[in-house]
């Protein structure tokens, strides 16, 4: 026997792989005929005790006792113990078993029983190696803690950290419930382009790409809004799109360059209707998945039970930033107040932008919520309808949960002339150097000129909602493969 390469479990396993092949075992096998999963065996033990079962899983632990051995096999939903004896499986197969490593995937067949200590176990009559693992698993007791490796090599995280599997299973259920909630209410799920010639629907910097044969630059979408509204123009009265959007901006515990949003549009509706949808959808998802509308996030309680309070943005600023903008009615005095509070302004900054800046900088994080903050300044809401009795503000709201903005919605702006002016305002900001300002979308204006019914629209940040429901502190904990810099 060749001496082991010192210190290298990878090479040790490669040697075993070669030995297995020499001995005629196939280290990468065909599918195994299974009858049960680990969970089914554990759940139906009363019924299955004494009868034969077949299942497969990854070898996670083993306790060898000479001519017998205990081990745990893990499949998608759990682990179950197996018991092997040489006099049962045969000398040859037991020899194979002794060459197995933790991490290998095997299929087993045997009878269900309970050990002296009371653990449901399968007494193996035969087994088959399905997949040889060449790399060792992280430690069985502490799991994989290295955050960087958990993100970069999520497959290891999923193998050894049940909590991680729970988070992503729950994420999937949240999205499923969202779909059910909307389709049950007559919303039509649609798919609109991911590659845009004009990146619109939000104030954000887009990713730019290039189409060879068309010889044009294309943008990855920063929102689904403008295409969905075109569909409302076209006559679809209730639509939604659940999908990935991309923003070429900073990365933080609340921002990933690609993330998932759901946007919902309903004809002949307004932002009050969108508030109802938001609070009903979020609370019903929590109730269905977590069993309660009162959840815990990072050690604090968050009561999602509807109705959620509604507060005017200007009142929120008055309350939390202690500035009463109802008494400050022109740009000049607003800029003066901003300067007094250390909020940066330029000569052209307007009262509305300053009110919004006060809100973002001094109020948002204090909003544990849930709360709907409503009626935003028109300058920062270029796609929202103006309030009937105050054209400086719009019928827009954002929903805050645990200090995070999770929804943004408005009564949509359907007046094509006003929309054109708003775009022109954005374009002039863009020319002045604001590369996050909106671009002119002429076709969208044309669509509005054909006539869009009064419409309510809503966008929800799915990742942030999943963070709340899974009690995850970072958005990277709820995205399977978060954006990372290459290591080398």
Partner RNA sequence: GAGCCAUUAGCUCAGUUGGAAGAGCACCUGACUUUUAAUCAGGGUGUCCCAGGUUCGAGCCCUGGAUGGCUCACCA
**449-488 residues near RNA, rule: CB under 7 A:** 459, 461, 473-474, 476, 482, 484-488
159 vs 388: CA distance, rounded Å: 56
Question: Can you tell me which of 149, 195, 208, 417 binds RNA, judged by CB under 7 A?
Answer: 149
Interface segment toward RNA; rule CB under 7 A; list 33-41, 111-119, 181-189, 275-283: 111-119
Minimum distance of RNA from residue 214's CB (angstroms): 27
Question: Which residues are 219's β-sheet partners?
Answer: 196, 208
Residue 81 binds RNA (CB under 7 A): yes
Q: Rounded to whole angstroms, what are the CA distances from 279 to 228, 231, 305, 357, 399?
A: 22, 25, 8, 26, 9
| Binding residues with RNA: total (CB under 7 A) | 77
Which CB sits closer to RNA, 337 or 383?
383
> The tokens 């382009």 sit on which residue?
193
Minimum distance of RNA from residue 362's CB (angstroms): 10
33 vs 44: CA distance, rounded Å: 19
Interface segment toward RNA; rule CB under 7 A; list 139-147, 233-241, 292-300, 385-393: 139-147
Residue 407 binds RNA (CB under 7 A): yes
Question: Can you tell me which of 22, 46, 91, 116 binds RNA, judged by CB under 7 A?
Answer: 116
Residue 426 binds RNA (CB under 7 A): no
Q: Output phi, psi for 161, to 5 deg.
A: -115, 100
> The tokens 């954006």 sit on which residue?
483
- Tokens matching residue 5: 């390469």
Which CB sits closer to RNA, 64 or 449?
64
Interface segment toward RNA; rule CB under 7 A; list 20-28, 48-56, 61-69, 323-331: 61-69
DSSP per residue over 104-125, as a string? -EEEEEEEEEE-TT--EEEEEE
Restricted to residues 305-344, the positions that interact with RNA (CB under 7 A) are: 344
**DSSP H stretches of helix in 137-293:** 147-152, 154-160, 162-184, 225-233, 271-290
Question: Can you tell me which of 272, 315, 319, 405 binds RNA, judged by CB under 7 A?
Answer: 405
Report the Cα 24 to chain-centroid distance in Å. 45
Question: Can you tell me which of 49, 139, 189, 330 binds RNA, judged by CB under 7 A?
Answer: 139
Which CB sits closer to RNA, 187 or 356?
356
Interface segment toward RNA; rule CB under 7 A; list 114-122, 213-221, 287-295, 332-340: 114-122
Restricted to residues 176-205, the positions that interact with RNA (CB under 7 A) are: 202-204
Q: What are the b/e assignments for 405-426, b being 16+ CB within 10 Å? A: bbbbbbbbbbebebbbebbeeb
Minimum distance of RNA from residue 30's CB (angstroms): 25
- Tokens matching residue 52: 């034969």
Which CB sits closer to RNA, 294 or 320?
320
Its sign, for the CA torsion 266, 272, 273, 274, is positive
Residue 375 binds RNA (CB under 7 A): no
Residue 408 binds RNA (CB under 7 A): yes
Question: Can you tell me which of 113, 207, 312, 368 binds RNA, judged by CB under 7 A?
Answer: 113
Which CB sits closer to RNA, 322 or 417?
322
Question: Which residues are 53's β-sheet partners?
Answer: 110
Question: Can you tell me which of 51, 92, 115, 183 binds RNA, judged by CB under 7 A?
Answer: 115
Minimum distance of RNA from residue 63's CB (angstroms): 4
CA triplet 366, 166, 365: central angle to 5 degrees?
Answer: 5
Are 334 and 325 spatial neighbours (Cβ–Cβ below 8 Å)? Answer: yes
359 vs 283: CA distance, rounded Å: 26
Minimum distance of RNA from residue 486's CB (angstroms): 7
Which CB sits closer to RNA, 137 or 466?
137
Interface segment toward RNA; rule CB under 7 A; list 130-138, 292-300, 310-318, 423-431: 130-138
What separation, in Å, do the N-terminal and C-terminal C-alpha atoms of the chain show?
Answer: 38
Residue 92 binds RNA (CB under 7 A): no
Which CB sits closer to RNA, 449 or 473?
473
Question: Can you tell me which of 23, 49, 64, 76 binds RNA, judged by CB under 7 A?
Answer: 64
| SS3 state at 452 | coil
Which CB sits closer to RNA, 233 or 479?
479
Q: Rounded to whole angstroms, what are the CA distances from 474 to 98, 155, 282?
A: 42, 19, 19
394 vs 241: CA distance, rounded Å: 24
- Tokens matching residue 221: 């979408």
Minimum distance of RNA from residue 119's CB (angstroms): 4
Q: How many residues does the chain have?
A: 488
CA triplet 252, 170, 460: central angle to 5 degrees?
Answer: 55
Of the candidates 155, 144, 160, 206, the residue with the CA atom closest to the CA atom of residue 60: 160
- Tokens matching residue 79: 């682990």
Residue 109 binds RNA (CB under 7 A): no
Minimum distance of RNA from residue 429's CB (angstroms): 11
335 vs 330: CA distance, rounded Å: 9
Residue 46 binds RNA (CB under 7 A): no
Residue 91 binds RNA (CB under 7 A): no
Question: Can you tell me which of 237, 272, 436, 471 binds RNA, judged by CB under 7 A?
Answer: 436
Residue 70 binds RNA (CB under 7 A): yes
Restricted to residues 237-266, the positions that interact with RNA (CB under 7 A) are: 247, 249-250, 252-253, 255, 261
């Amino acid at each position: 026997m060749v001496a082991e390469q010192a210190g290298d479990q990878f090479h040790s396993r490669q040697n075993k792989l070669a030995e297995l092949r020499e001995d005629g075992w196939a280290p990468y096998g065909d599918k195994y005929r299974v009858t049960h999963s680990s969970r089914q065996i554990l759940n139906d033990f009363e019924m299955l005790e004494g009868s034969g079962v077949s299942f497969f899983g990854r070898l996670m632990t083993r306790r060898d006792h000479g001519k017998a051995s205990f081990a745990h096999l893990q499949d998608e939903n759990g682990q179950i113990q197996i018991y092997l004896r040489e006099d049962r499986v045969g000398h040859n197969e037991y020899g194979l078993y002794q060459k197995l490593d933790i991490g290998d995937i095997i299929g087993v067949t045997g009878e269900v029983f309970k050990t002296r200590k009371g653990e449901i176990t399968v007494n193996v009559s035969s087994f088959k190696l399905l997949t040889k693992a060449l790399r060792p698993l992280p430690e069985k007791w502490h799991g994989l803690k290295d955050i960087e490796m958990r993100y970069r090599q999520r497959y290891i995280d999923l193998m050894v950290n049940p909590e991680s599997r729970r988070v992503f299973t729950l994420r999937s259920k949240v999205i499923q419930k969202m779909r059910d909630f909307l389709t049950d209410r007559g919303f039509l799920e649609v798919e609109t382009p991911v590659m845009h010639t004009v990146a619109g629907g939000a104030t954000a910097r887009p990713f730019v790409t290039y189409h060879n044969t068309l010889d044009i630059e294309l943008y990855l979408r920063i929102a689904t809004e403008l295409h969905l509204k075109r569909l409302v123009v076209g006559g679809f009265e209730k639509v939604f799109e659940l999908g990935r959007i991309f923003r070429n901006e900073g990365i933080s515990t609340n921002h990933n360059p690609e993330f998932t949003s759901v946007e919902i549009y309903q004809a002949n509706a307004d932002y009050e209707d969108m508030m109802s949808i938001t609070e009903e959808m979020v609370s019903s998802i929590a109730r269905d998945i977590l069993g309660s509308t009162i959840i815990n996030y990072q050690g604090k309680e968050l009561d999602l039970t509807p109705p959620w309070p509604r507060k005017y943005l200007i009142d929120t600023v008055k309350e939390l930033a202690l500035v009463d903008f109802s008494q400050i009615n022109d740009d000049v005095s607003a800029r003066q107040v901003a300067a007094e509070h250390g909020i940066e302004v330029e000569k052209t900054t307007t009262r509305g932008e300053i009110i919004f800046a006060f809100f973002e900088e001094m109020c948002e994080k204090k909003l544990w919520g849930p709360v709907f903050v409503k009626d935003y300044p028109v300058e920062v809401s270029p796609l929202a309808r103006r309030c009937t009795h105050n054209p400086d503000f719009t019928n827009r709201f954002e929903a805050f949960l645990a200090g995070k903005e999770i929804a943004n919605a408005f009564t949509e702006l359907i007046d094509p002339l006003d929309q054109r002016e708003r775009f022109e305002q954005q374009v002039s900001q863009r020319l002045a150097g604001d590369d996050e300002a909106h671009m002119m979308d002429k076709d969208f204006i044309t669509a509005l000129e054909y006539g869009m019914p009064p419409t309510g629209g809503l966008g929800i940040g799915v990742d942030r909602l999943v963070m709340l429901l899974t009690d995850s502190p970072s958005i990277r904990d709820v995205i399977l493969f978060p954006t990372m810099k290459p290591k080398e």
